Amino acid sequence: MPNKAWELGFHLRSPRGWLNDPNGSCQFNGEYYVYYQYNDAWPKIDQKAWGLFVSRDLVHWRYEGMPIEPSIPEDRHGVYSGCTVVERGAGDDGADLLRAFYTGNVVCLDAGHNPKDVGRVYTGREAHEITCTSTDGIHFGTKTVLLRTQDYPDECSLHVRDPKVWRQDDSWYMLLGARHLRNHGMCLLYRSDDGLSWEFAHRIDSAYPFGYMWECPNIVQLDDGSEYLAFSPQGLPRMRDRWHNLCQAGYIPLPGRIVDTTVVDERDFVEWDHGHDFYAPQTFVDDQGRWILIGWLGGFDPHWACAPDGLAWCHCLTVPRLLRKDPASGHLLQTPVPELVALRGKKVTLVRGATAGISTRHADIVLEDIAGDGSITIDESLQVFFERQRLGIRYLVPQQAAGRDDRSIPLDSLRDLRILVDGSAVEVYANDGAQVFSSRWFPAEGTSLTIRTDLNVRVAQAWPMEDVLGNLYATAQAPSISQPGWNA
Ligand code: FRU
């Protein structure tokens, strides 16, 4: 039986069934909209739609069903990943309009498909870029097909998807993730005057092949002019300290602007997260001008179970993370949005060598001014450690890892840690978010947590976190879709 201790209190998951990539995250009419890849019929069939959560404050959410489902021939086997653009004043009476862009997935296994073409790279699929608009973010109008499989450059395989669209200098731009016929990943850049009629501008390649496919391209453009190209490459070989998951997610800091970039240096690729369960993140700018990232706290890795013991839901999203530039490295720091602090209950002070108790399964832990090696252990089961200049997480009770290995990365010194524990989801932020690990664990039954600190620190505190989503999951009715579908 699934264990209640695995339930999430402040991480978004689907009411039931499967969740993967966040899609179209934005702030629209003052509220935060987080769409996501949703298959409520999992594990019986694989048919993706966009599910939706909406929030005023990035902390309390309401579930709004599945606003975009397969409904036209061009998206009949899945409404795949994409983005939204808020069009200011473009609606009736000057209201804002939300425009969604996504890939319509079609599988054609009948005429002309070679069954040896595993993954339908050259035969057996179509990918169409589609747009539709909404005045409330929930009800979308007519779907318009913008680009069809035959419109992409000749050197593209059939894997082209995940539009990221934005407006800049009076133009609209669209990035697509793609797989070259010669089996390497790349991005395609398109330009448009109106967001509807698109012209191919150029490819963005790596100097040397870097994985066979780049999924979910994304951008970060900071006020100081720094630009970053983010994407999720598939097929990178596992190295000692890098690329330990089946697929990776990261970004490349650019010397110039994305729209002028044709080649990136793959040696500059920075992984967003070193945990077992992180992929396909998306970024957006909110009304305060903050760059926020939300990732899929999950992955396709067959090594680790994500829904053991008949759990009726699979995967969740990370908490929203604020992105800032680290002036020293030029890399992006990720920290949980400050709004999350609102969920903290009564503070517990942690004492080195002692075990403290937290009254729920949801906790926020902060350690500041750390000196030297040591560890912090949750429930005598999950350990975050810094030893001989390696920072990592370790599962002390193997079955609670559900197949996950211990993980660590080289790190010169550890200054601070922030650990979010939420049922079966854990996010570890180190050195002001310069290094992050997101992983799942499947602890034993229980309604409280223990925390044992064995680190020399100036400040060590923990808070129980309010469970703001449990009720929502209990009451949300997932609508069901009936057509058979297919895998990415
Ligand atoms: C990434 C991905 C995307 C695709 C979607 C389908 O996780 O494979 O490339 O659009 O998932 O659910």
Nearest-atom index, ligand 1, CA of 162: 10
The answer on 208 and 145 residing in a single domain is: yes
Distance (Å) from CA 286 to ligand 1 centroid: 24
Ranges 39-43, 250-254, 309-313, 475-479: which has the least confidence? 475-479
**Residue 189 is encoded by which pair of tokens?**
């850049």
397 Cα–ligand 1 center, Å = 32
> Has residue 485 got a pLDDT over 60?
no
Q: Of 299, 317, 337, which closes a domain?
A: 337
Ligand 1 centroid distance, CA of 75 (Å): 14
Do residues 217 and 175 touch, judged by C-beta distance below 8 A? yes
Structure tokens at 260: 């002028």
Count of domains forming the chain: 2
CA 109 to ligand 1 center in whole angstroms: 19
Residues 67, 179 within the same domain? yes
Q: Which domain range does residue 208 map to?
A: 15-337
Q: Which of ligand 1's atoms lies nearest the C-alpha of 82? A: 10
Q: What is the pLDDT of residue 45?
A: 87
Kindly state the average pLDDT of the residues 102-122. Answer: 92
Nearest residue (CA) to ligand 1, atom 6? 80
pLDDT 10s digits, 152-211: 999 999 999 999 999 999 999 999 999 999 999 999 999 999 999 999 999 999 999 999
Which atom, in ligand 1's list, is nearest to the CA of 37?
A: 12
Residue 174 lies in a domain: yes
Which one from 21, 277, 364, 422 is the annotated catalytic residue?
Answer: 21
Give the model's pLDDT for residue 1.
74
The answer to whether position 7 is within a domain reads no
Share of the chain above pLDDT 70, in %: 98
**Does residue 472 lie within any of the structural domains?**
no
Question: What's the confidence (pLDDT) of residue 477?
Answer: 65
- Environment class of residue 318 by beta-carbon count within 10 Å: exposed (0-12), middle (13-18) or buried (19+)? buried
Q: Which of 79, 216, 248 to mutate to test the pocket of ligand 1 (most atoms within 8 A of CB)?
A: 216
Ligand 1 pocket test, candidate residues 69, 81, 106, 232, most atoms within 8 A of CB: 81
Of 312, 337, 362, which residue is a domain's last?
Answer: 337
User: Rounded to 5 degrees, what are φ and ψ at 250?
Assistant: -165, -165
Instruction: Tell me the CA–centroid distance for residue 488 and ligand 1, in Å.
Output: 6
The answer to whether residue 480 sits within a structural domain is: no
Instruction: Tell me whether residue 92 is one of the annotated catalytic residues.
Output: no
pLDDT of residue 314: 95
What is the Cα–Cα distance from 431 to 409, expressed in whole angstroms?
13
CA angle 275, 279, 282 (to 5 degrees): 125
Residues near 316 by Cβ (< 8 Å), separated by ≥ 6? 8, 11, 12, 13, 19, 297, 298, 425
pLDDT at 482 over 50: no
pLDDT tens readout for residues 265-305 = 999 999 999 999 999 999 999 999 999 999 999 999 888 99
Q: Determine the average pLDDT of the residues in 447-455.
A: 97
**Residue 365: which of 294, 457, 281, 274 has the closest Cα?**
457
CA distance 395 to 357: 20
With a Cβ cut-off of 6 Å, ligand 1 is lined by 20-21, 37, 48, 80-81, 103, 161-162, 215-216, 279-280, 488
* Contact predicate 449/365, CB 8 Å: no
**Strand (E) or helix (H) holding 181:** none
Q: Judge whether 5 lies within some domain.
A: no
336-363 pLDDT per residue, tens? 999 999 999 999 999 999 999 999 999 9
Residue 482 lies in a domain: no
Confidence tier at 310 by pLDDT (50, 70, 90): confident
Separation between Cα atoms, residue 166 and residue 84, nearest integer Å: 9
E strand or H helix at 87? strand 79-87
The preferred substitution site among 18, 38, 48, 80 for testing ligand 1, maximizing ligand atoms within 8 Å of CB, is 80
How far, rounded to the nearest angstrom, does the alpha carbon of residue 374 sit from its chain's CA centroid? 30
- 24-44 pLDDT, tens digit per residue, is 999 999 999 999 999 999 988
Residue 488: inside a domain: no
pLDDT for 228: 98
**329 in the same domain as 293:** yes
Residue 285 sits in the same domain as residue 250: yes
User: How far does CA 242 lie from the centroid of its chain?
Assistant: 18
The minimum-distance atom of ligand 1 relative to the CA of 216 is 9
Residue 357, classified by CB atoms within 10 Å of its CB into exposed (0-12), middle (13-18) or buried (19+), is exposed
**376 shares its domain with 318:** no
Shared domain check, 202 and 60: yes
Q: Does residue 97 sit in the same domain as residue 47?
A: yes
What is the sign, positive or negative, of the torsion defined by CA atoms of 315, 317, 318, 324?
A: positive
Q: Which of 161, 297, 300 to mutate to test the pocket of ligand 1 (most atoms within 8 A of CB)?
A: 161
Predicted local confidence at residue 479, as pLDDT: 57
484 pLDDT band (50/70/90 cuts)?
very low
Question: Are residue 405 and residue 438 in the same domain, yes or no?
Answer: yes
**Do 141 and 40 lie in a common domain?**
yes
Residues 6 or more apart whose Cβ sits within 8 Å of residue 161: 80, 81, 103, 105, 127, 176, 177, 178, 215
User: Does a structural domain hold residue 483?
Assistant: no
Check pLDDT > 50 for residue 486.
no
Atom of ligand 1 nearest to the CA of 215: 9
- Kindly state the percentage of the chain with pLDDT values over 90: 92
Residues 434 and 326: their CA atoms lie apart, in Å, by 8
Residue 427 alpha carbon to ligand 1 centre in Å: 22
295 shares its domain with 432: no
Tell me: pLDDT of 102 over 90. Answer: yes
Which residue has tokens 């990776």?
248
Burial class (CB in 10 A: 0-12, 13-18, 19+), 351: exposed
For 59-84, how does the pLDDT look when each residue is reduced to its tens digit (9 = 90+)? 999 999 999 999 999 999 999 999 99
Which of 280, 310, 337 delimits the end of a domain? 337
Q: What stretch of H or E contains 316?
A: strand 316-317
- Residue 7: count other Cβ atoms within 10 Å of its Cβ: 22
Ligand 1 center from residue 80 Cα (angstroms)? 6
The closest-lying atom of ligand 1 relative to the alpha carbon of residue 48 is 12
Q: Give pTM, 2 decimals.
A: 0.96
Atom of ligand 1 nearest to the CA of 232: 1
pLDDT value at residue 112: 82
Nearest CA to ligand 1 atom 9: 215
- Residue 372 is part of a domain; what is its CATH number? 2.60.120.560
CA of 82 to the centre of ligand 1 (A): 9
Note whether 65 and 170 are same-domain residues. Answer: yes
Average pLDDT, the chain: 95
We report the CATH number of the domain holding residue 80 as: 2.115.10.20
Residue 141 C-alpha to ligand 1 middle, in angstroms?
23
Is residue 351 located within the same domain as residue 318?
Answer: no
